[in-house]
Amino acid sequence: MSDLATLEQTILGQITAAGDESTLEAVRVAALGKKGSISALLSTLGKMSPEERKTQGAAINLAKDKVTEALSQRREVLKSVALDARLANETIDVTLPLREPPVEAGRIHPLSQVMDELTTIFADMGFSIAEGPDIETDDYNFTKLNFPIGHPAREMHDTFFFNPKEDGSRLLLRTHTSPVQVRTMLSQKPPIRVICPGRTYRIDSDATHTPQFHQVEGLVIDKGSHLGHLKWILHEFCKAFFEVDHINMRFRPSFFPFTEPSLEADIQCRRDKGEIRFGEGEDWLEILGCGMVHPNVLRACGIDPDEYQGFAWGMGIDRIAMLKYGMSDLRQLFDSDVRWLNHYGFRPLEVPTLAGGLGS
């Protein structure tokens, strides 16, 4: 066999033996690269006689073509082998279970949850939400609500007052949500049906009182509204809120300057080993104050008491939240302790609805 034929066989053997594309590339460079074996043979052509060049040239070029062809065939084979290997490696098993969703961090505070629950229930009864500022005037917090200046009822509320202004008037932190009644009556024409949830403040701090707490006020003003409507609304509210089919309520006479008559409402319950059940038992729990809006209040807010009447109620949100969700210490509501929140808080996407359940 001629040298050329031997070289060609060697190179073709190396091509067949190359197991991956980089080895194959090395074979190509060694044969056809600038300093490759076949390129070296081609460069000898110049020194040959024309006769020799004719035969040798044709032979070398033939060998070069064969090598080039073998290289490209081998490259195709290696490529498809590599692709098959990747496909075998990267298959997706669609029967695998889904990955766990990311851990939901953060919880809705029970008070926010309870406010959402309240508004959901009252919205379903056709109430809208009214709001007012935490910093109020003495006039809206007291005077227009029929607390005459100097009247002892003002002392019932331990009020945070701001320093008096030059004209002697004083702003204060509202002691109840009732001034929002005044704001609503001054800005809307009856019929009125609103609830006003919000922050309230009193100088008081012990196991059952915090200086800042929450109330929800309700107000209905219309031509024919009466105590029967009020009782029905509160009864329906309590059933929906405590998520029970049956609840017993009791109304006791009371006193508030802005209502006449004034009542306090209790719900029946049984306390059993730290648990509380509603609608049965011997205990009564006071949950709210209410009554028919006093004619003086209607008059102070520009509503004619001979044409319209109405009723109102005010309820502590913190307390009903604790009752519903079994929290023992009021102060924990304000501690911002993440461990407590993880336990008592609610998942952000589980929004309370009447159909889907309030306290998920």
Task: Give me the residues that bind ligand DAH (CB under 6 A), please.
Answer: 176, 178, 217, 256, 259, 289-291, 312-314
Q: Which two tokens stand for residue 126?
A: 């056709």
Q: Please say whether the beta carbons of 324 and 293 come within 8 A.
A: no
Q: Which is nearer to ligand DAH, 66 or 209 (CB)?
A: 209
* N- to C-terminal Cα separation, the chain: 90
Q: Which is nearer to ligand DAH, 117 or 217 (CB)?
A: 217
Q: Is the dihedral of CA 196, 189, 251, 281 positive or negative?
A: negative
Say how many C-beta atoms besides its own lie within 10 A of residue 17's C-beta.
11
Q: How far is the CB of 360 from ligand DAH (least distance, A)?
A: 30
Q: Please say whether the beta carbons of 218 and 195 come within 8 A.
A: yes
Q: Please say whether the beta carbons of 179 and 217 come within 8 A.
A: no
Q: Which two tokens stand for residue 333?
A: 């509501």
Q: Please say whether the beta carbons of 164 and 171 come within 8 A.
A: no
Q: How far is the CB of 208 from ligand DAH (least distance, A)?
A: 14
Q: How far is the CB of 289 from ligand DAH (least distance, A)?
A: 3
Q: How far is the CB of 200 from ligand DAH (least distance, A)?
A: 7
Q: Which is nearer to ligand DAH, 113 or 178 (CB)?
A: 178
Q: How far is the CB of 180 from ligand DAH (least distance, A)?
A: 10
Q: How far is the CB of 314 from ligand DAH (least distance, A)?
A: 2
Q: Which residue is nearest to ligand DAH (CB)?
A: 314
Q: Which is nearer to ligand DAH, 17 or 232 (CB)?
A: 232
Q: For residue 110, what are the CA distances in angstroms to 117, 220, 249?
A: 10, 27, 25
Q: Which two tokens stand for residue 220?
A: 């209905």
Q: For residue 201, what are the CA distances in angstroms to 101, 141, 328?
A: 41, 12, 21
Q: Which is nearer to ligand DAH, 61 or 188 (CB)?
A: 188
Q: Which two tokens stand for residue 248?
A: 């017993």
Q: How far is the CB of 293 from ligand DAH (least distance, A)?
A: 7
Please choose, from the candidates 186, 187, 208, 212, the residue with its C-alpha nearest in 3D space to the C-alpha of residue 198: 212
Look-up of token digits 């929450």: 214
Q: Which is nearer to ligand DAH, 110 or 291 (CB)?
A: 291
* Cα gap 176→301, rounded to integer Å: 18
Q: Which is nearer to ligand DAH, 11 or 115 (CB)?
A: 115
